[in-house]
């Protein structure tokens, strides 16, 4: 059974991802934009998995969901580390 807040989170996340992809020309100005986009895409995949686990394979999808959250957090931390550690690249 899915919860309404999980579905709303997925819908909002997919909306943000759509703006992210549609505005990719402006996003490319950010340093390390590919890593940031990948991090958010994996986060959205986790949100999708939390909704899908209400329909089938709850144990497997729950595990993959949490792996997605961990990978997303690691990618985001790596992005933050890259943009704040390389002062020359961040200024561009």
24's tokens: 């990719």
CA distance 32 to 28: 8
Express as a percent the part of the chain with pLDDT over 70.
92
- pLDDT at residue 91 tops 50: no
pLDDT tens per residue, range 41-86: 999 999 999 999 989 999 999 999 999 999 999 999 999 999 888 6
Coil/strand/helix, residue 30: coil
For residue 14, the model assigns a pLDDT of 94
Q: Determine the length of the chain.
A: 92
CA distance 59 to 57: 6
Residue 76 in contact with residue 26, Cβ under 8 Å?
A: no
Q: What is the mean pLDDT of residues 9-13?
A: 94
The pTM of this model reads 0.85
CA distance 60 to 37: 25
């Amino acid at each position: 059974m899915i919860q309404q807040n999980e579905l709303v989170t997925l819908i909002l996340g997919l909306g943000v991802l759509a703006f992210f992809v549609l505005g990719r020309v402006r996003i490319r100005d950010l340093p390390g934009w590919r890593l940031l986009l990948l991090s958010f895409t994996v986060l959205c995949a986790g949100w999708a998995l939390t909704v899908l686990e209400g329909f089938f394979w709850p144990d497997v999808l729950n595990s993959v969901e949490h792996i997605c959250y961990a990978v997303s957090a690691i990618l985001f931390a790596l992005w933050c580390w890259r943009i704040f550690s390389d002062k020359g690249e961040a200024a561009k």
